[in-house]
Amino acid sequence: MKSEELRELQAPLKEKYRENPEEAVITLRAKGAIGEGITCRVDTGKALVEAGLHPATGGNGLAACSGDMLLEALVACAGVTLKAVATALEIELRGGTISAEGDLDFRGTLGVSKEAPVGFSRIRLNFDLDTDAPEDKVATLLRLTERYCVVKQTIERPTPVDVLHTVAT
């Protein structure tokens, strides 16, 4: 896609959201169902993913780990955002890879140590780009990618999560 095509595609949306900000707010949804053993079947809209315990917490490694899925969501969002920003800035990317890795201390989630955090203590997001763009353009590309990546911004500035429940009777 060319920069002009992206602008033409997004221009009416941007105008609509400027005129009616409430139309820019949508609710995304995810749904899962309790699976066999200690698993949860998550419908991604494209495939059914069975999530389960990581081997470091007793899992057999056959089910997806939700921690891996979080990193995968970060990589996906960063990659799409990077490509959109590169298109808008007319920076040619011949290719590249995006990778994420995160450090977990499983003592926290297993309740072995109250001092160990539950969750990632550090996440590293790496871009390996194939481009001839000058360093200042690449710096701008990465700065804007970080700024507009929904998953990265949500992880860095945690969003309150309201936990609701119903019980079948």
- Is residue 9 a part of any domain in this protein? no
Cβ atoms within 10 A of the Cβ of 108, count? 16
Same domain for 102 and 86: yes
3-state SS, 120-164, equals: EEEEEEEEEEECCCCHHHHHHHHHHHHHHCHHHHHHHCCCCCCCC
Tell me: do 37 and 72 sit in the same domain: no
Q: Describe the chain by its helix, strand, coil percentages, rounded to 5.
A: 45, 20, 35
Q: Provide the number of structural domains found in the chain.
A: 2
Q: How confident is the model at residue 5 (pLDDT cuts 50, 70, 90)?
A: very high
94 and 142 inside one domain:
yes
| 41 class by beta-carbon count within 10 Å (0-12 exposed, 13-18 middle, 19+ buried) | middle
Q: Are residues 52 and 127 in the same domain?
A: no
Which pairs from 18-25 meet CB under 8 Å and 24+ separation? none
Query: pLDDT-based confidence at 82, cuts 50/70/90?
Result: very high
In a domain, 5, yes or no: no
Residue 40: domain span: 30-64
| Domain of residue 74, CATH code | 3.30.300.20
pLDDT of residue 29: 86
In this prediction, residue 12 has a pLDDT band, given cuts at 50, 70 and 90, of very high
Task: Report, as an integer, the average pLDDT of 119-124.
Answer: 95
Same domain for 77 and 118, yes or no, is: yes
Residue given tokens 């059914």 in the structure block: 48
pLDDT at 24 over 90: yes
In-domain check, residue 37: yes
Q: What confidence tier does 37 reach under pLDDT thresholds 50, 70, 90?
A: confident
Residue 46 confidence (pLDDT): 87
Specify whether the CB–CB gap between 106 and 54 falls below 8 A: yes
Give the per-residue pLDDT at 156: 94
pLDDT score of 36 more than 90: no
User: What is the chain's Cα-based Rg?
Assistant: 20
21 domain residue, yes or no = no
Q: 73 and 59, same structural domain?
A: no
Count of alpha carbons within 13 angstroms of residue 143, beta-carbon side: 7
Q: Whole-model pTM above 0.75?
A: yes
Residues 120 and 45 in one domain: no
Q: Are residues 112 and 130 in the same domain?
A: yes
**Confidence bin at 80 (pLDDT 50/70/90):** very high
